[in-house]
Structure 1
């Protein structure tokens, strides 16, 4: 999926971000499962065949909810369990806000925009034997930071000592995000 960075920048500046349905307020009586799978590379499959339309991935990603370790597609009418290898999203872009020096916005593979501010949560997790940053996209749904975005973050990171441990920290505005250990 090719990202239109100019369109994303305009969206950030206008504040007109993609609207996400209030899936956390929907508790449908009808529950089931559907053969939709998100693999470790964040590729979506239905009955073993890859999704062909990015717009369908974006639509379905907007109705995702996580309960415990289980992922669901949720509408007001039904809740369907799906399988996810790691996480449903990947951070594929890092933009520096033009109107606010030193503030960053992460862009996911589904074009969700995640400002790296006080409301953002970043965790370090082990993925394939390596410590990797994961960023919360919304309400318990995380994105794994792609390797090239990690390198972008590392270019802006500072080495800091925290609890006697040296760590690389990305500073976005007034907020610090640990992206790795030294």
Structure 2
């Protein structure tokens, strides 16, 4: 016979543990983002009016083009990327007073740095974008493969439905933190662990 009180207690302890892990990660990220002097506005709280479309395109290779001109100023790219919003499959730049549609060929964020960090005695994969966003890989921010123009590419979920492409050099570095396996079909699989999350990616 199962002791209902013990069972409930164990569930509560598990939930408390999950909450603590999330709080630990959140606290760690807050400190890291402050170190990078990077903050994201509360876009989800803003309800601006739609103001049409801007001639701004984020290319699949990471370049930002405005009215036929390549944007080179990193400070401007960092600012634009901090107000990126995705809604009904479309990308926007969002402020408290206006929401302007832009074109994105694939995804607007790009991972160029991969590290392994320790948070409360657990090892996590930490990814950093070219705009200094820091992402801890977990259940809410998983790495996954998706096809683009006939090529399987690796991504990680960042925020607001927006993903970041893991660039080639960063992906090779990511492989160093995982294990290459072979499945029953003879395909190569990359096995990764970040905290309690276990991922297997077809390469």
- Secondary structure at the counterpart of residue 110 of structure 1: coil
Select the residue among 86, 95, 99 that pairs with 1:75.
Answer: 95
Distance 1:29 1:126 in 2: 33
Distance 1:143 1:16 in 2: 17
Q: What is the match of residue 192 of structure 2?
A: 170
TM-score, normalised to structure 2, is 0.74
Q: What is the match of residue 180 of structure 1?
A: 202
- Aligned CA RMSD, in angstroms, stands at 2.4
Structure 1: runs of 5+ lacking an equivalent? 1-10
Q: Greater Rg, structure 1 or structure 2?
A: 2
TM-score, normalised to structure 1, is 0.82
Does residue 1:14 correspond to 2:31, yes or no? yes
Deviates more, 1:16-25 or 1:164-173: 164-173
Distance 1:13 1:110 in 2: 16
Q: What is the match of residue 112 of structure 1?
A: 133
- Secondary structure at the counterpart of residue 97 of structure 1: strand
Structure 2: runs of 5+ lacking an equivalent? 1-27
- Secondary structure at the counterpart of residue 102 of structure 1: strand
Higher helix residue share: 2
Question: Alpha carbons of 1:163 and 1:64: their partners in 2 closer, same or farther (altered >3 Å)?
Answer: farther
Distance 1:30 1:66 in 2: 13
